[in-house]
Structures are given as structure tokens and as C-alpha cells.
Amino acid sequence: MALPVVAIVGRPNVGKSSLLNCLAGRMVSIVEPTAGVTRDRVSEVVSLDDERYFELVDTGGYGIEDVDDLTKHIERQIFIAVDQAMLILFVVDALDGIMPLDKEVARLLRKHSDRVILIANKVDGIAQEPTAAEFVRLGYGEPHNLSAIHRHGRRDLTDLIAERLSGQQGEAPARAIMKVALVGKRNTGKSTFINALAGEERVIASERPGTTRDAIDVTFEQAGRTFVAIDTAGVRKINKMDNAIEFYGYTRAERSIRRADVVLLFIDALVPVGRVDKRLVSLIRSEFKPCVIVVNKWDLAIERTSTEEYGAYLERVFPELAYAPIVFTTATDDHNVDAAIDVAWSLFKQANLRVGTGQLNAVLSAITAERGPSAKRGTKSPRIYYGTQVAVMPPTVVLFVNSPASFSENYRRFLLNRFREGLPFAEVPVRLVVRARRGGHSTPPT
């Protein structure tokens, strides 16, 4: 059964994002005093108990005059959420009282009145209750008083939602097998890519840089496999970030890389690789994340260069990602969008493979026969006894040796490259741990 949708709507700065975070029980949406932070539909699956679930959707503030001329896009996202919702949480601010925009939202929701719950937010005590009671004049009955930030009234609200959704709550959603984070500079086409996957305007896509501000999870199913695509805010140089919203969007992009299984690194085919791209690559490498390099807007660059030449260019500027596959896409035309996800599935599978100790040591013997370790100055002669794989995601190989300090970084890199060639990890990062042998074993334990 599809999950019922519960949409949060209201004018700017009434606490809609705080309400989403309150009901979700974790930080999902950006909460910031600046009006208009939320633009897209930000959703989270919320559990009423262990058997009943619904999808909670936060929306942008109705009536905001967006600084980037995206007001119509934001309103379209609100209307889509309202049309899809089985229940609408109409949020007002008890501290401000009834405002003209509250009346406008009330008018717009009138034809959906049977699905509306009026919520007076920021009611921290009895002092705000008289003001909150005034909202009955909006025509949706007595408001439910709540303090989303302090979670006062949360339990009563979830009980009310459960009552209103009685018989409609969905079963536990299919667990996502893979999480894919889309990262890159601003205006590289990440949101357009998400919309191409969804077959609809799931997030706002605009030529305006910086349109996406939050990390937005969108669940998809492909060939019977469920995955989550995380659309992140476009990254720019830290010293050029204009405000706290941009910096917070950047930190959410970093966090998305850390929680992802595979990263899609978006490169604009028309823009030279710069410091922002290299900083993202450094983070992807430090987190040992499988990576697909997505060269987007290829339709506009295809006359200038070939895929082979561009691939060679990327290998020069990203030598640390030389193993990462490259997919050339045109998200506006849905070209190679599914192919990029297919490659992500392939990397996910590689990163979860586990090889036997016998296979690994056969490869290790061939590597050391080609080039054995040489001693660093002032250290004892290095010797490798055996290796074993101890983990996946990333594949982690432990080598038991006589003296870890004797192994140079150059030789460790050589081993990693050869492991990637000889083991089924050709396109994913491998973590190598060099550990002193204990227990007197010079061969793999049986």
C-alpha cells in the first residue's frame, strides 16, 4: 500500500520545518530565521507505531517573494503537495496572531477543508493560548496548540493524525538497499537529474545557481530494487558563501556524502574543473566512497571534445579517482540518467563483495613476486606474512607484517592499485590496513 501523504503548509516563518523535524524526531529540514529557506518538498517517512507509517512533506512558505525569482516554482511545489495529501497541517504563528497571508492560505485550502488540521505553533505556555484561540476565525475550528521546537503537544498531534488517517496508514516502506548522494558545484544539473529519474518536477530545477538549499531524499524503485537519491545543495568556495543558509547547505552536502553508499559527482561539461570539485573529491576519497563521475550537459560539449579526451582530462585533474567510472549525461533530455544509476548499482555490488583469504593471498603472492617491499631508511626489512579481508563498504584488507613502520606510502599505494586489478574491486576504493603480526602465525589461520 502506498504511504498516505501528510503535507505541512502555511506562510513563511511559522515553523513548518520545525514541525517536520519535531514529528520526524530528527533534523531533516533546515531551520533558519530567514524567510524562504525551504523551497522544495522535503519529505520524511514517519512512524505512528511499528506498523503504521505516513509520508510527511514540508513545503515552502506561501506568499514568499523569493530573491531568486522562484516564487512560482515554490508555489507549484506547494500545490502538488496539497493535491497529493490525504491530510494537510495548516500551520500558523500564535505569537503573531492572524496575518493577511494566513487568511490567503485559509482561502486556498477551503476546497480541501475536510482534510485540514489547523495548528497554532509557538505556544510555549498559557500566555499564548488566548492569541492562538483567535485562529478559529480562519474557519477550521479550534487550532491544535503546539511548540514544535520544544515538542510540547507533539503526542496529542500524532494521536490526532493517527485518528484522521485511521484505516489509511501504510505498511512499513521497503527499506532502501542503496543510498546515492548527488554532489557537485552549483548549477551542474543535480535537481534536473532527480526530476528525470522521477518523471516529474520532484524538486525545483532552475538556471539560477543555488536553487537547492537542503539535502532532499527521494526514494525510487528500479528493477525491483529500492534506492534513495539524495539531492544536495550546490557547493561553492567557502569564502564566496553569502550567508548561513549556503554554509549549512554545504555541511548537509558533506553529511550526505558520509551517509551515502555511492556518490554521484556532478561535473558541468562546460566549466573547467576547479577547487570546489577537488575539495569534494578529497572528501569522497577520505570517506572511501564509491564514486560515479557524472559529466552533465554533454549535449552542449559534444562538438568540442570526445568522451575519450574528456576522460583523459578528468584522469589528469582527479588522479586519485582514476578508477572511478565516468558517465556522460544530458539530464534535461533524460539521456543516460538510468545508466548512471545502473553504474551506481554496479559499484554498490563491488563494494559489498567479500573475497576468500586464499584468493586474496594468491593475488598478494603475485604482487610481491612482481615487486616486493623495500625498507624505509632506518627501519627493519619489511616482510608480509599474509592478508585477509575484514570488512566491506569499503572492502578492507588487513596485511599482517613484521613491521608496519617499514612500509612506505608509495608501496602501500602500489599494493592498493594491484589489489584493485587482481581482485573484483576494479572501480571502488579499497582500505588497506598494515598491522603487526601477533600470535606467531606467519601463514593465514585456518
Residue 337 clears pLDDT 90, i.e. is over it: yes
Residues of the chain with pLDDT > 70, as a percent, come to 83
Q: How confident is the model at residue 212 (pLDDT cuts 50, 70, 90)?
A: very low
pLDDT per residue as tens digits for the range 153-188 = 899 999 999 889 887 656 666 666 899 999 998 888
Q: How confident is the model at residue 243 (pLDDT cuts 50, 70, 90)?
A: very low
CATH homologous superfamily of 5-164: P-loop containing nucleotide triphosphate hydrolases (3.40.50.300)
Residue 285 clears pLDDT 80, i.e. is over it: yes
Work out whether the CA dihedral 366, 370, 376, 378 comes out positive or negative.
Answer: positive
**Burial degree of 206 (CB within 10 A; 0-12, 13-18, 19+):** middle
Angstrom distance (rounded) from CA 320 to CA 372: 23
Of 69-78, 88-97, 183-192, 334-343, which gets the smallest average pLDDT? 69-78
Angstrom distance (rounded) from CA 323 to CA 339: 18
Q: Which fold has domain 357-436?
A: GMP Synthetase; Chain A, domain 3 (3.30.300)
Of 291-295, 303-307, 340-344, 372-376, which gets the smallest average pLDDT? 372-376
Q: Which of 363, 433, 360 is nearest to 394 (CA)?
A: 433
Model confidence pTM above 0.75: no
Angstrom distance (rounded) from CA 350 to CA 427: 8
Residue 333 clears pLDDT 50, i.e. is over it: yes
Q: What is the pLDDT of residue 13?
A: 87
Mean pLDDT computed over 72-94: 87
Domains 5-164 and 178-351 share a fold: yes
CATH code for the structural domain at 178-351: 3.40.50.300
Mean pLDDT computed over 95-116: 93
What is the residue extent of each domain of the chain? 5-164, 178-351, 357-436
State the CB neighbour count (10 A cutoff) for residue 114.
8
- What's the mean pLDDT when you consider all of the chain? 84
Q: What is the pLDDT of residue 137?
A: 93
Mean pLDDT computed over 101-130: 89
The C-alpha cell at 260 is 551515502
